[in-house]
Amino acid sequence: MQISYLECTRCGERLSPDHPQSVCPKDGGVLFVRYDLASLKGKLRVDDLRGRVASMWRYAEVLPDAAPVTLGEGFTPMLPSREFASVYIKDEGLNPTGSFKARGMSAAVTMARHYGLKKLAAPSAGNAGGALAAYAAAAEIEAHIFMPKDVPLANRMECDYYGAHLTLVDGLISDCGRMVAERKDKEGWFDVSTLKEPFRVEGKKTMGYEVAEQLGWKLPDAIIYPTGGGVGMIGMWKAFEEMEELGWIGSGVPGSAGQGSKRPKMISVQAAGCAPIVRACEAGKSASEMWADASTFAAGLRVPKAYGDYLILDIIKKSGGTAVSATDEEILLATRHWANVEGVFAAPEGAASLVAYQKLRASRFLRAEDVVVLFNTGSAYKYLDVLEAQEKRARTATPATRQIGGIIGPY
């Protein structure tokens, strides 16, 4: 659909979508893409989606009006859990390049090509870089990617094979981001860092549309989302708002029309070794602090401070959600457990959702009858070297470090 304008999420400033934009020039706020949804209301109905392409581009009317750069991303399976009757696993591991990052990069590269951009750059904890490399290859655009040097092997290799320019950095994603920022003007790169361009959110919001569509246009009671940069959660919340405007779901106001009128509790799960959102949430703060010495084998969760932290924390609060952390040991056990019990070989970040679910059931934050969607954000096939190393570490760990807190279930 034709974009009406880009809107700053901090000050409400409106910017033109006619040329590439980054963040709000006044306050650095994240920009959201706004459409004239009111004109679509009543004209576009959920039944119109039947028989459409099984990718995120089935929601074309709520995505930018440009020729998509697509590799078949989105419309991933919503698997009923075999272990918990009211739980679903949304398996993003089946996306091109094996993670949910494909959605954001499909949208971002689509718009980059639309704007005629020739060189894109991004820092990445791993999977975003791989996704950017793939979509840039498909669009014949140059990709310059900066990753920590200890990312999973798959991430390095895919960037190489897709023909991206890869720089491995002795540091974290925050250091990579600084390097992109320092060099982009001189090199003529457009920065597609998380939330520093408006379209990755647009791609990722389609997860919210899919959750609703795949559950029969009823929203679940809660969604557990592994949070690094947090765009998945931010995107889904935007989708719920848009679907309310379209009249596809209820407005959330008691007594209003529509089904499933309550938005889900949005629950963020992070690694115990890098949990800035959990810490800020527990302290009731509206922004997070940079996490010192971030460390976890779940590479995608190693984000010491998310650019959109204020949005994530606001969503958690407004939705009545919470934030939970999972230790590497818990994540490793959950990865094996999910593979074993569900047949889902999840990325460690995704398996952290299971740890969060177990902890929140134990604390009675969630009840057995609550419909909960756990997001597996990627495929374990991209983490084979990392998983093997982590298994070895776990086997040689002393019994004292093998204490597992808060985990229920047969391990």
61 binds Zn ion (CB under 5 A): no
CB of 313 to Zn ion, least distance (A): 18
Q: What angle do CA 360, 344, 271 make, to 5 degrees?
A: 45
- Contact positions with Zn ion (CB under 5 A) in 260-279: none
CB of 10 to Zn ion, least distance (A): 4
Comparison of 29 and 348: residue with beta carbon closer to Zn ion: 29
Q: How far apart are CA 176 and CA 167, in angstroms?
A: 9
Give yes or no for a contact between 377 and 301, defined as CB atoms under 8 angstroms apart: no
Comparison of 14 and 41: residue with beta carbon closer to Zn ion: 14
CB of 7 to Zn ion, least distance (A): 9
Q: How far apart are CA 404 and CA 175, in angstroms?
A: 32
Among 8, 56, 87, 201, binds Zn ion (CB under 5 A): 8
CB of 30 to Zn ion, least distance (A): 9
The tokens describing 335, both together, are 């990865």
Comparison of 23 and 323: residue with beta carbon closer to Zn ion: 23
Residue 99 backbone dihedrals phi, psi, to 5 degrees? -160, 165
Characterise 372 by phi-psi region: left (phi > 0), alpha (psi -120 to 50), beta (else).
Answer: beta
Comparison of 234 and 366: residue with beta carbon closer to Zn ion: 234
Comparison of 6 and 354: residue with beta carbon closer to Zn ion: 6
Comparison of 19 and 395: residue with beta carbon closer to Zn ion: 19
10 binds Zn ion (CB under 5 A): yes
CB of 38 to Zn ion, least distance (A): 23
Among 11, 290, 389, 397, binds Zn ion (CB under 5 A): 11
Comparison of 54 and 287: residue with beta carbon closer to Zn ion: 287
Tell me the site size for Zn ion, rule CB under 5 A.
Answer: 8
Give yes or no for a contact between 124 and 231, defined as CB atoms under 8 angstroms apart: no
Q: Which stretch binds Zn ion (CB under 5 A): 11-19, 191-199, 256-264, 297-305?
A: 11-19
**DSSP 3-state assignment of 30?**
coil
Candidates 180, 101, 182; CA nearest to 145 is 180
CB of 387 to Zn ion, least distance (A): 42
Q: Which stretch binds Zn ion (CB under 5 A): 2-10, 157-165, 298-306, 307-315?
A: 2-10
Amino acid at 378: G
Comparison of 25 and 409: residue with beta carbon closer to Zn ion: 25
Pairing of strands 372-376, 87-91: parallel
Among 13, 61, 175, 221, binds Zn ion (CB under 5 A): 13
Q: Which residue has the tokens 């997070």?
A: 288
245 binds Zn ion (CB under 5 A): no
CB of 6 to Zn ion, least distance (A): 10
Candidates 103, 159, 160, 162; CA nearest to 137 is 162
- Contact positions with Zn ion (CB under 5 A) in 316-375: none
Pairing of strands 31-35, 3-8: antiparallel
Contacts (Cβ under 8 Å, ≥6 apart) of 128 = 101, 104, 105, 122, 194, 229
DSSP string, 348-405: HHHHHHHHHHHHHHHTTSS-TTS-EEEEE-BBGGG-HHHHHHHHHHHHHS-GGGG---
The crossing angle, in degrees rounded to 10, of helices 231-246 and 309-319 is: 50
Q: Which residue has the tokens 């540091």?
A: 171
CB of 45 to Zn ion, least distance (A): 35
CB of 26 to Zn ion, least distance (A): 4
Q: How far apart are CA 49 and CA 28, in angstroms?
A: 36
- Contact positions with Zn ion (CB under 5 A) in 16-35: 24, 26-27, 29
CB of 42 to Zn ion, least distance (A): 32
Comparison of 311 and 374: residue with beta carbon closer to Zn ion: 311
Comparison of 17 and 226: residue with beta carbon closer to Zn ion: 17
Question: Would you tell me which residues interact with Zn ion (CB under 5 A)?
Answer: 8, 10-11, 13, 24, 26-27, 29
